[in-house]
Amino acid sequence: MRAVTTSGGGVVVTDRPDPEPGVGQILVRVRAAGLNGADLLQARGLYPAPPGWPPDIPGMEMAGEVVSTGPGATRFSTGDRVMAVVGGGAQAELALVHEREAMPVPEGLGWAPAGGLPEVFTTAHDALFTQAGLRAGERLCVSGAAGGVGTAAVQLGVAAGALVTGSVRSADRRDQVAGLGATAIDPEAMEKAGPFDVILELVGAPNLGADLNALATGGRISVIGIGAGAVGEINLGILMARRARIHGSTLRARPLEGKAAAARLLEAHVLPLFETGRLTVPVEAKFSIEDAPAAYEHFAAGGKFGKVVLTAG
């Protein structure tokens, strides 16, 4: 099979042996695989795949058709349209995933959006609801609202009845974020636009002070992106006075049962909203898997609205 492969700080496309499904696994012919910030880090050697996943084939989400099933795998049949968050190896013509980590592709959803759905919607849903406990009527601010997780979070917040503000550095992207149902603001305007019950922080530690200042009593900050920096100052006195909490999380390092549990929540609470057309995956750009180096370059340039997706087959 052809596979994106990390090489000297970037990626190339190489021939690799076809994988074989083990116990409980399914082999998927990948039709689309989204890019994520973690892929760039991994290419630079900063974010290795967890044990048990291909160490040098990046890709944390994909959609495609089931080619074959391993011993004991009974959830899906050959030809089924599936998608999944994986620990690595998604950016290839074939990928392995445990059947408990896979989900059916919603009726009517194309390959490119399906390939860019699992990681960002699982991440956003987990952060907003499982961690931060977002409820209808609450005020949500998504800090970094134009990217993949940001556009997912804005839509999920709107669908769940929250009052959503999206903070976006690039003025050019604010109309698009507003089109998803959010009030789009410049990050500098955040404190004035608050207070917020939940802040989803996708940018990093430099925003933490402003996040705390914009937080309502009983508020929750969920940190799932630190591209602008991991280390910053925190005033615990404000955290106490606000009776607030800060969550940090990643999906990738979770064990099988963690990824599978998140997939069940997505099946129950998110995929039905794709079938009714309430949610979409904005696809910013598609590249053939053979053009992966160009896709990575496009992704790294930033300022996107939605997902960059590799396609195959």
Binding site for a copy of itself (CB under 8 A): 131, 204-205, 208, 223-224, 226, 230-250, 253-254
Distance between CA atoms of residues 221 and 52, nearest Å: 31
Residue 165 CB neighbours (<10 A): 25
List CB contacts of 296: < 8 A, sequence separation 6 or more: 10, 11, 35, 39, 40, 43
Q: Which residue has the tokens 């603001």?
A: 185
In angstroms, give the least distance from the CB of 98 to a copy of itself: 20
In angstroms, give the least distance from the CB of 179 to a copy of itself: 30
In angstroms, give the least distance from the CB of 228 to a copy of itself: 10
Cβ closest to a copy of itself, residue 8 vs residue 237: 237
Helix axes 256-269, 118-125, angle to 10 degrees: 90
In angstroms, give the least distance from the CB of 249 to a copy of itself: 5
Cβ closest to a copy of itself, residue 230 vs residue 294: 230
CB 82 within 8 A of CB 21: no
Cβ closest to a copy of itself, residue 137 vs residue 255: 255
Q: Which two tokens stand for residue 38?
A: 């973690």
Cβ closest to a copy of itself, residue 241 vs residue 294: 241
Residue 46, CA distances (Å) to 39, 49, 57, 249 in order: 10, 10, 14, 17
Cβ closest to a copy of itself, residue 77 vs residue 235: 235
In angstroms, give the least distance from the CB of 208 to a copy of itself: 7
